[in-house]
Structure 1
Amino acid sequence: MVLRVLVTGAAGQIGYAVVLQIAKGDVFGPETPIVLVLFDIPPMLQALEGVQFELQDCSLPTLQEVVVTVKEEEAFKDIDYAFLIGAMPRKQGMERKDLLSANVKIFKSQGIALAKYAKPTTKIIVVGNPANTNAFIAAKFASPAIPEKNFTSMTRLDHNRATSQVAMKCGVGIRDVKNVIIWGNHSSTQFPDVTHAKVVKNGATLGAYEAINDKEWIQGPFINVVQKRGAVIIEKRKLSSAMSAAKAACDHIRDWHCGTKPSEWVSMGIPSDGSYGIPKGLIFSFPVTISGGEYKIVQGLHLDEFAKGKIAITQKELEEERDEALQACA
């Protein structure tokens, strides 16, 4: 079956890095033919055509066609997957809240376009920040044509960052660390949690707390590094994370499409079903397992007082963002 995959903001840095991974089979597998739809704002049309030409020049067996458009009715028509990357960018010194009002307009419009033109089975990842709240707005305006559960936001970048920090701290490879969790918002309030993570060290599988053996680091510098990594990269590159963000978006959709490995979970921003006391409908990052294209929140994980406190902070921020976004829609 040919998959029709939309990338918005396709002329931007993250889009440029995402499209090659999709086109060469890294996301949907080497046997799945892809029609790639590249969408951006009208001033970016020339740049979009340049990306289209490059993709054609890659001579990829999986890539059936590259469509370029600046019209929502063409972009969203009959798509199977959407990478919603295009958004008002965050600049140095900006908090995500500053981005809310500009982005509400974009994601309201895209939610309406999804409802009108896309398949009801379309699966959506929102990458453009503030990602959780942008996903919430898109889902609201795509309802009831597209189920709320089909809207997700990317916290896989944070998940990958946390995994990498633990691996470096323990002196092991990335493959030897699994089941870190990102709770909450893709922002500086997120809670990277290693309480239930496992590390393979010297052939033995240990809990992350035991493997790291430094509670102060886990509850201090580790959390800070993951929370602030995006801002630090902006400071150093003068541009936001693109390569790592693109890789994470592709990881997120690959796992949603292909499933997670047995006894492993990943972090995804999804509409809450009330699990762990998070209000229903709030787009919140949870640990999930995925099978047959459906994600399930990992249930029954013990949360100590430290974790509950951190989760409450990120929940409060998301509720405030949601309320501000709804006001901006009114």
Structure 2
Amino acid sequence: MTRRPVNVVITGAAGQIGYALAPMVCAGAATGREKAIALRLLDVPFAEKALRGVMMELEDAAFELVESVSAHVDPEEAFVDADVCIMVGGFPRKAGMERKDVMGKNVAIYREQARALATKAKPGVKIVVVANPANTNANILRKFAPEIPAANVTCMTRLDHNRALAKLGGKSGRATRDVKNVIIWGNHSSTQYPDVNHATIEGKTAREVIGDDAYLDGEFVDAVRRRGAEIIEARQLSSALSAASSVCDHVYDWLNGTKEGEWTSMGVVSDGSYGVPEGLVYSFPVTCTGGKWQIVQGLTIDERSRKLMDESATELTEEFELAEACLAESA
């Protein structure tokens, strides 16, 4: 085990995702089981008491990798020398709220935290935004922290990616580990496009193994898009355990690399690849090596896929325009 700890910050750490995520991070699921961890938990002052309770539980669990756990309500304090920041905190949409109202509150949160990250975190800090609207929150953070390399600000679509793997495994009767190279294109929203055209199951194309194009082009896409809503209906709460596990997968692959011949899905800043407008934080297939991600190039995009990818890009463009309008109003 390396003795210099990786400084990991979880925002919104007193919430249900934070409660599921923190012990996974302490066990090494995000950074690797050979690296020491210094964990900082950040939340709003209102949640300070609950946050201290989470910290006490983590201390009592005596995780072998953990060198320290601390609780904070000041972002500038929590982000000092941060190596990895997992941005779970955000303002959720409540009954009766307009989309613009939610966007305005999240713009304010991510503008403040961007400034704290830019001044306090390490120059190479790696950031993954989980709080919705994740892609646009990440783009706001990037806008207000230009000192941080754009490639170091990402958002999580790994949960959607993992859902797609599980659906294909279940439909084919194979283990999820035998399913490779699905793609989530676009926004972490109902316009995302779960693409199976390049996926394989036990080395054969997913379309060949499943043998049901109508399912793959219809019910499968809808099922991945709807999964979060189905969980809310069942639990009366949003996904927590699966979100926590997936964000650990996202960070682990980013830091330690994807397997040879495999890719994952990450929301990253577009460089114009596949016709996606430059500057959008958009989910692409990526491989990771040496702590860096690269968009997988050269994939064939059929007409149907092009339409679905463009629809998600249009939604993201409109979301970011709304966020900028909120910024202008609050200036």
TM-score, with length taken from structure 1: 0.96
Conserved in 2, the CA contact under 8 Å of 1:286 and 1:297? yes
Distance 1:6-1:311 versus aligned 2 partners, 3 A rule: same
- Indicate whether 1:26 and 2:23 are aligned: no
Distance 1:78-1:163 versus aligned 2 partners, 3 A rule: same
Map 1:82-231 onto structure 2 (within 5 A): 82-91=85-94, 99-143=102-146, 145-200=147-202, 205-231=203-229
Instruction: List per-residue Cα deviations over 1:125-158 (Å, max 9, x = no partner).
Output: 0000000000000011010x11111000000000
Q: How far did 1:93 drift?
A: 8.8
Inter-partner Cα distance in structure 1 for 2:34 and 2:289: 20
Tell me the residue number matched to 2:257.
259
Instruction: List per-residue Cα deviations over 1:203-252 (Å, max 9, x = no partner).
Output: xx210111111011011110001111111211221110000000010000
Tell me the residue number matched to 2:51.
48
Tell me the residue number matched to 1:80.
83
Gap regions ≥5 residues in structure 1: none
Conserved in 1, the CA contact under 8 Å of 2:266 and 2:284? yes
SS in 1 for 2:30: coil
Inter-partner Cα distance in structure 2 for 1:147 and 1:97: 28
TM-score, with length taken from structure 2: 0.96
Q: How far did 1:91 drift?
A: 4.8
Distance 1:95-1:187 versus aligned 2 partners, 3 A rule: farther
SS in 1 for 2:298: coil
Gap regions ≥5 residues in structure 2: none
Tell me the residue number matched to 1:303.
301
Q: Which amino acid aligns with 1:141?
A: F
Q: Which amino acid aligns with 2:242?
A: S
Which runs of structure 1 show a deviation greater than 4 angstroms over 4 or more consecutive aligned residues? 91-98
Instruction: List per-residue Cα deviations over 1:97-137 (Å, max 9, x = no partner).
Output: 66312111111111111111111100000000000000000
Conserved in 2, the CA contact under 8 Å of 1:92 and 1:231? no
Distance 1:98-1:199 versus aligned 2 partners, 3 A rule: farther
Inter-partner Cα distance in structure 2 for 1:29 and 1:255: 10
- Indicate whether 1:290 and 2:288 are aligned: yes
SS in 1 for 2:128: strand
SS in 1 for 2:9: strand
Q: How far did 1:90 drift?
A: 3.8
Tell me the residue number matched to 1:71.
74
Inter-partner Cα distance in structure 2 for 1:310 and 1:98: 27
Inter-partner Cα distance in structure 2 for 1:43 and 1:18: 20
Distance 1:236-1:96 versus aligned 2 partners, 3 A rule: farther
Equivalenced residues, count: 325
SS in 2 for 1:210: helix
SS in 2 for 1:33: strand
Tell me the residue number matched to 1:318.
316
